[in-house]
């Protein structure tokens, strides 16, 4: 290590693969100037290693208009949803989940699905996937002009029964109808897996079970599988264990993460996923969202916060942060609430 005065300090470590923590323990034994130089070199090496492990580009799947609004108790007018989707498209997001073709009886907020799909401005190079839990929903989505759909399952039996009123195996059987119809119509299908690290009814969820469900969805023909920490209990440790199991069964290029921020762990969990090779991240403008069947699940991670972090890491997203915050301000004003985005809150104080 060369210090600022030009002196060279030679360090011989008995273990060539010494962990950073062990190396740092040597600092008190070095002269002051040498210790400072060694610390800078160590930090530089660590930064370079992190940069090499991160993707150059990340696709952000904006789920605010659907997942973000579906749990709102007061019905949001269709024209507000349409304007929100248009603003998100203008911000440079390449994927904006528009609505859900579920029964209005179960999710009243999505009853205007046809009106929303026909009212939005379709931007070039922007996808507008919609959720379709069954064949009836898929057929309605096609009539409304949908060109991409999504199906959703769970890694928890109890959550599956509470959420879609059937077991995991039964849900996969239902999806086979949708997959066949989508294949015939040449419509790409995205798959969601809920409760990938924890369930509000069962507690911890086995990574092996998550991998099993993800593999089945991928084998059925889903081009991408989004792994959702529905109640936001995940940590970097549990996220790493879960992803380690799943990537043994599904190509990492076909995986995405969908993190809720209930315990303030969403960004660090996303960073963990990025380090493991994930390059697709779901998020919701202004941190909107929750889950109708998981009462303790707070909002999704805010898209503004994800973009800010990725910008700081030098990772390309194609998203204009200022325009994104304007979209967030628009929907928060319509909902008469403060944004949950820490970045948006900070910018408002500047």
Q: Which are the catalytic amino acids? A: 291
What 3-state class would DSSP assign to 49? helix
CA-CA distance, 63 to 337, in Å (whole number)? 19
Structure tokens at 153: 């399952």
Structure tokens at 52: 């090499």
b/e map 98-128, b = 16+ CB within 10 Å? bbbbbeeeebebbbbbbbbbeebeebeebbb
DSSP assignment of 223-259 = SEEEEEETTS---HHHHHHHHHHHTTTS-GGGEEEEE
Residue ranges of the alpha helices (H) in 91-154?
Answer: 113-119, 135-143
Structure tokens at 195: 């409760």
Q: Which residues 6+ apart lie within 8 Å of 346 measured at CB?
A: none
CA-CA distance, 33 to 301, in Å (whole number)? 42
CB 217 within 8 A of CB 167: no
CA-CA distance, 259 to 34, in Å (whole number)? 42
CA-CA distance, 279 to 277, in Å (whole number)? 6
Structure tokens at 276: 């493991």
Q: Phi-psi bin for 278: left (phi > 0), alpha (psi -120 to 50), beta?
A: beta
């Amino acid at each position: 290590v060369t210090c600022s005065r030009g002196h060279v300090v030679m360090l011989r470590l008995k273990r060539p693969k010494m962990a950073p923590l062990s190396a740092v323990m040597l600092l008190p034994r070095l002269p002051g100037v040498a210790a400072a130089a060694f610390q800078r070199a160590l930090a530089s090496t660590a930064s370079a290693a992190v940069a090499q492990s991160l993707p150059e580009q990340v696709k952000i799947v904006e789920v605010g208009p659907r997942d973000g609004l579906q749990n709102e108790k007061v019905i949001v007018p269709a024209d507000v949803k349409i304007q929100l989707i248009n603003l998100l498209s203008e911000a440079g997001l390449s994927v904006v989940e528009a609505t859900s073709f579920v029964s209005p009886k179960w999710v009243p907020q999505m009853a205007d699905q046809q009106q929303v799909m026909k009212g939005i401005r379709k931007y070039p190079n922007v996808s507008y996937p919609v959720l379709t839990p069954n064949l009836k929903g898929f057929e309605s989505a096609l009539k409304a002009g949908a060109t991409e759909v999504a199906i959703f399952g769970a890694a928890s039996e109890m959550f599956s029964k509470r959420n879609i009123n059937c077991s995991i195996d039964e849900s996969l059987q239902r999806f086979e109808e949708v997959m066949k119809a989508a294949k015939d119509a040449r419509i790409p299908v995205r798959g969601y897996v809920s409760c990938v690290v924890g369930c509000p009814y069962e507690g911890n969820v086995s990574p092996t079970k998550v991998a099993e469900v993800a593999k089945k969805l991928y084998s059925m023909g889903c081009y991408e599988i989004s792994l959702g920490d529905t109640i936001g209990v995940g940590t970097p440790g549990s996220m790493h264990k879960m992803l380690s199991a799943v990537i043994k069964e599904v190509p990492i290029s076909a995986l995405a993460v969908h993190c809720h921020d209930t315990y303030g762990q969403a960004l660090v969990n996303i960073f963990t996923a990025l380090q493991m090779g994930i390059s697709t991240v779901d998020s919701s403008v202004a941190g909107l969202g929750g889950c109708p069947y998981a009462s303790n699940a707070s909002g999704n991670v805010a898209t503004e916060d994800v973009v800010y972090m990725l910008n700081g890491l030098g990772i390309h997203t194609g998203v204009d942060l200022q325009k994104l915050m304007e979209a967030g301000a628009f929907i928060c004003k319509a909902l008469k609430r403060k944004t949950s985005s820490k970045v948006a809150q900070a910018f408002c104080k500047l």
